[in-house]
Amino acid sequence: MSAVPILIKYNKGQKVELEEAIEDFTAANFTIREVSNDGKGNIVMEFTPPDGNMVAAIKLPPSPTISSGGNLAWGAKVSAKFKSKIQIIAANIGCDPDFLMAAMAFETGETFSPDIKNSRSGATGLIQFMPKTAIGLGTTTNNLAKMTAEAQLDYVADYFANQKGKLNTLEDVYMAILWPSAVGKANNHVLFTDPSVEYNQNKGLDLNKDGSITKAEAASKVNDKLIIGRKPSNLG
């Protein structure tokens, strides 16, 4: 099975973004092809994951936001380089890039800020890296907070690397961040119950106030961010 290509449209004012995308996708061993060029600076490029990357080949879902010109949910809020990196990460782990964008929109309060910090837990950055998680990735939350959002995405990629082929739904993408043991479980799977420390830390996610938080409940606010992120004003 051949890998699924990503189509991205660049206009005449995006020469730098195009050059950066070619550099990033080349570094990730993607095959690059110019699909169309109107001679006025408007170009459509095709970036195809390596054939050996069977996760990308099998799991990457068709995404209308990609095929219709490279737009991503919340793409209007981030740089072209950020979007290129997200598309590469998504292809490598086999998930919809919009799901990653929605999760980061939720985790950062729609800011996509690399230094946003939870004052209670110390969680920091695009996917709210916990201090122990950061150390496990060879860095610290303090160092992560000093990075650009684009640089921090390298650590996002490392974090998700062991979830290749497992993140087929928005719920599973968010579980990889919140509670990795729930990846692949049914959406009615119970994550936390009252009384527990975990429930108290996440009780705002108990939508029906029944003393338990399911996978679906936990991911519901991320789904809200996906819907908002796909509005025309936020696509990019």
**Of 1-10, 126-135, 178-187, 224-233, minimum mean pLDDT range:** 1-10
Mean pLDDT of 82-100: 91
Q: Which of 131, 127, 102 is nearest to 224 (CA)?
A: 102
Is the pLDDT confidence value at 3 over 70? no
Rounded to whole angstroms, the Cα distance separating 90 from 179 reads 19
How high does pLDDT run on average in the chain?
A: 86
Q: Which of 126, 132, 121, 134 is nearest to 107 (CA)?
A: 126
**Residue 97: pLDDT band by 50, 70, 90 thresholds?**
very high
CB 215 within 8 A of CB 188: yes
Residue 61 φ/ψ, nearest 5 degrees: -80, 155
Region of 125 (left: φ > 0; alpha: ψ -120 to 50; beta: rest) is left
Alpha-carbon dihedral angle through residues 104, 215, 178, 65, given to the nearest 10 degrees:
-20
**Of 49-58, 120-129, 134-143, minimum mean pLDDT range:** 49-58
CB 231 within 8 A of CB 71: no
Residue 226 is which amino acid? Answer: L
Q: What is the pLDDT of residues 14-24, one digit of tens each?
A: 778 778 888 88
**Residue 4: pLDDT band by 50, 70, 90 thresholds?**
low
- For residue 150, how many other CB atoms are within 10 A of its CB? 19
Q: What is the pLDDT of residues 23-40, one digit of tens each?
A: 888 888 888 888 777 777
Helix H or strand E segment including 132: helix 131-136
Rounded to whole angstroms, the Cα distance separating 42 from 18 reads 11
**Of 1-10, 105-114, 187-196, 208-217, minimum mean pLDDT range:** 1-10
Mean pLDDT of 53-81: 56
Q: Where are the domains of the chain?
A: 6-229
**Residue 214: pLDDT band by 50, 70, 90 thresholds?**
very high
Helix H or strand E segment including 35: strand 31-37
Q: What is the pLDDT of residues 136-186, one digit of tens each?
A: 999 999 999 999 999 999 999 999 999 999 999 999 999 999 999 999 999
Question: Could you tell me which residue, 38 or 92, shows the higher pLDDT?
Answer: 92
**Whole-number pLDDT of residue 64:** 31
Residues in the chain: 236
CB 167 within 8 A of CB 173: yes
Question: Could you tell me which residue, 28 or 197, shows the higher pLDDT?
Answer: 197
**Whole-number pLDDT of residue 68:** 32
**Residue 221: pLDDT band by 50, 70, 90 thresholds?**
very high
Rounded to whole angstroms, the Cα distance separating 25 from 27 reads 5
Mean pLDDT of 109-131: 95
Helix H or strand E segment including 192: strand 190-193
**Residue 53: pLDDT band by 50, 70, 90 thresholds?**
very low
**Whole-number pLDDT of residue 57:** 30
- For residue 187, how many other CB atoms are within 10 A of its CB? 15
Rounded to whole angstroms, the Cα distance separating 229 from 72 reads 8
Rounded to whole angstroms, the Cα distance separating 60 from 72 reads 15
